[in-house]
Amino acid sequence: MNNPPSGVIAPKPLFRDPVFDGAADPVVVWNQQEKQWFLFYTNRRANVPDLPGVSWVYGTPIGIAASSDGGATWQYRGTAGIDLGEAPTYWAPDVIAHDDGYHMFLTYVPQIRTDWSGERRIVHLTSSDLLQWEYHSTLALSSDKVIDAAVLRLPDGAWRLYYNNEVDNKSIYYADSPDLFTWQDGGKVVGDRQGEGPKVFYWFGRYWMIVDLWQGLGVYHSTDTLHWTPQERKLLDTPGSGPEDGTKGHHADVVVNGDRAYLFYFTHPGRLGPDADRDTYEQRRTSLQVVELTYQEGELHADRDQPTYIALKGG
């Protein structure tokens, strides 16, 4: 009998937001000052009654949870200190550590809406502690309706930011920067199908892109970060059997830690059965989950029904 992997079995669900119960779009980063892992997430006002239309997905700050046991258990730490005006909406941060500080690339919507119209921008903020954030700029990208930044360090030391251009059939675009502060838009890299929430990382000698297709997670691979080949098999397109994990997986982050990689994602656990399409608290609420990725014969796999032994090492 094989020995189990090292680590602690992560619970299901991994985390639920204690304020609005609407945690989504997770991103995980090591807090060098506190020697803990920090989890940032979009919040939605899932448990607030009588909000018209889709206004429940607007008007919330970015939530934070922290883990001191390698990512198995998470404690709510409040919200990120970001001030971009009255009643803003913050979505889908990507957070990276660089030099002695941290950078956040955040989707910013300047008003609360009842539908999906209006502009959205990606803004750049910095922090010395992952708690309080300073605004630096709004990126000039391909349209005024862009969301879901994902930042990758290139082999030459420059940076590439991937994002969803909603104006162009929700395709994935990119921009380049030598220093994280000045950006030049580069155009479209993935447009074979609609998707959002790109996450790009390097593992097993390839670059990988995970995209939320709303019917599971699409997977692409590349050798140069510009030309992407789709993997036929999606991830998390089949509901799991664990608690709060019985629906498709959405908008994910990947943490490559040593030779292992973990996929953090969210579910709408109440979207089941004949009531799946109703619009009540039960269908709006979300839960965060984690599964370990495996690499088999050139493809990524994620078996959400197997125990996930997690042991993130900071440094």
- Residue 2: inside a domain: no
pLDDT, residue 149, reads: 98
- Residue 137: inside a domain: yes
Using a cut of 0.95, tell me whether the model's pTM lies above it: yes
How much is the mean pLDDT over the chain? 96
- Residue 132: inside a domain: yes
Domain extent, residue 79, equals 8-310
pLDDT digits (tens, 9 = 90+) for 18-56: 999 999 999 999 999 999 999 999 999 999 999 999 999
pLDDT digits (tens, 9 = 90+) for 101-135: 999 999 999 989 999 999 999 999 999 999 999 99
- Residue 3: inside a domain: no
Does the pLDDT value for residue 1 go beyond 70? no
- Residue 300: inside a domain: yes
Mean pLDDT of 305-314: 96
User: Sorting pLDDT into bands at 50, 70 and 90, what band is 88?
Assistant: confident
- CA-CA-CA-CA torsion for 4, 7, 9, 15, nearest 10 degrees? -150
Q: What proportion of the chain, given as a percentage, has pLDDT over 70?
A: 99
How many domains is the chain built from? 1
pLDDT, residue 196, reads: 98
- Residue 92: inside a domain: yes
Does the pLDDT value for residue 2 go beyond 70? no
46: amino acid identity, one letter: A
User: Sorting pLDDT into bands at 50, 70 and 90, what band is 263?
Assistant: very high
CATH number, domain of 200, equals 2.115.10.20
The residue to which tokens 């109703």 are assigned: 278
- Residue 103: inside a domain: yes
- Residue 84: inside a domain: yes
